[in-house]
Amino acid sequence: MKRTNLTSNEHNVLYGLTKYPHISDSELSTILHVKMSTLTSIKRRLKERKLFKTLTIPLINRLGCELLSVIYMQYNPVIPLEERVQTTKKTIEVFDEIFFSAGEQEKGFSISLAKNYTDVERINEIRTETFGRMGLLEDEYPHEVIFPFETSHIDRFFDYSRLLHQTFSLTEADPPQSNREWFTPIDCVDLSIKERRVYIALVEHPDATAQQIADVVGLSRHTITRMKERFFTDGLLRQIVLPHLAELGFELLVFSHITFNLHRFPSTEEIAFLDTPSTVFFSRRKFEAVLISAYQTYQEYKEDEMKKIRYLKEKNLIVSPPVIQPYSFNRMVNIKDFTFAPIAKKVVATLQ
């Protein structure tokens, strides 16, 4: 596994970018106690080396959408991965709802944001039919886990700050984030025609300045600035920063699906125990949860896995083992890599 050597200041800045993705460089330099010129230089260098990217997430719960969906499956390993990828890109990944999809030779998973369950089920039916026709599926249908925004908790949505804080052995305390839960509240808002254009442009061009967005949509910089501030303040948009984990020396991304004991669902404290620093995605309902975690080594992953499973059993939280799928960054293929503009466009187009 390739490992990128970074200085302590570069560690600090990369962590800060993931922890505080929406604040200005001047604010970040104050928080990190790094000179503004140093921070700007490091940020530019990290970006040139493609060690991180910024994404603007459309919070479609505010625009009438109902759920997040996770699909995972086991494949017939006889079919070459390249053939499967080419087929899914043409028939399944074209759907706007899917924003992330990854896989290895014998397994894969995808995550979607959708207006309703009908849209998700339509994709799943096409997926099952396509994979069945190709002989890709083993003995089981694709597994579907649905998280309606109104009855679910999405505690982490690709938040890498704790992971980097631990990995880089940063000495300063990792401050807690306020209002960290995603896709709440549920109440909907409306957007004018101009606001819709700006909204989509901000999702499509997360690194663009207000002037660059203004040039794209044909409005003034002042109008863009005002709208952008409103979208973030009102919970219509939110930013995240994704570090390039493979380049930073991480070996594994691990997908986990936990089904809790129907007679013993977890308390807040028990949920917190499962939410370790390695966890970057955590979505849950009362009786099930999906976690995505990252590890530098296989041994680190196995230690964390056994600790969690032992805890789940001791607390009588499960009656069957969790589904755990480790993915090696060396072998994993990102079929659809955090693409949010299509679902943003689709949802905005349906507004009355």
Question: Mind listing the pLDDT tens digit of every residue in the chain (352 residues)?
Answer: 445 689 999 999 999 999 999 999 999 999 999 999 999 999 999 999 999 999 999 999 999 999 999 999 888 777 788 887 887 777 888 899 999 999 998 899 999 999 999 999 998 888 888 877 777 776 678 899 999 999 999 999 999 999 999 999 998 777 776 557 899 877 889 999 999 999 999 999 999 999 999 999 999 999 999 999 999 999 999 999 999 999 999 999 999 999 999 998 899 999 999 999 999 999 999 999 999 999 999 999 999 999 999 999 999 999 999 999 999 999 999 999 999 999 999 999 988 6
CA nearest neighbour of 54 among 237, 296, 291? 237
Q: Crossing angle for the helix pair 221-233 and 210-217, nearest 10 degrees?
A: 110
Predicted local confidence at residue 3, as pLDDT: 56
- Dihedral over alpha carbons 37, 176, 149, 98 (to 10 degrees): 40
**Contact of 177 with 260, CB cutoff 8 Å:** no
Distance CA 169, CA 180 (A): 23
- What is the 3-class SS of the chain, one letter each residue? CCCCCCCHHHHHHHHHHHHCCCCCHHHHHHHHCCCHHHHHHHHHHHHHCCCEEEEEEECHHHHCCCEEEEEEEEECCCCCHHHHHHHHHHHCCCCCCEEEEEECCCEEEEEEEECCHHHHHHHHHHHHHHHHHHCCECCCCCEEEEEEHHHCEEEEECCCHHHHHHHCCCCCCCCCCCCCCECCCCCCCCCCHHHHHHHHHHHHCCCCCHHHHHHHHCCCHHHHHHHHHHHHHCCCEEEEEEECCCCCCCCEEEEEEEECCCCCCCCHHHHHHHCCCCEEEEEECCCEEEEEEEECCHHHHHHHHHHHHHHHHHCCCCCCCCEEEEEECCCCEEEEECCCHHHHHHHHHCCC
Predicted local confidence at residue 1, as pLDDT: 43
Predicted local confidence at residue 76, as pLDDT: 79
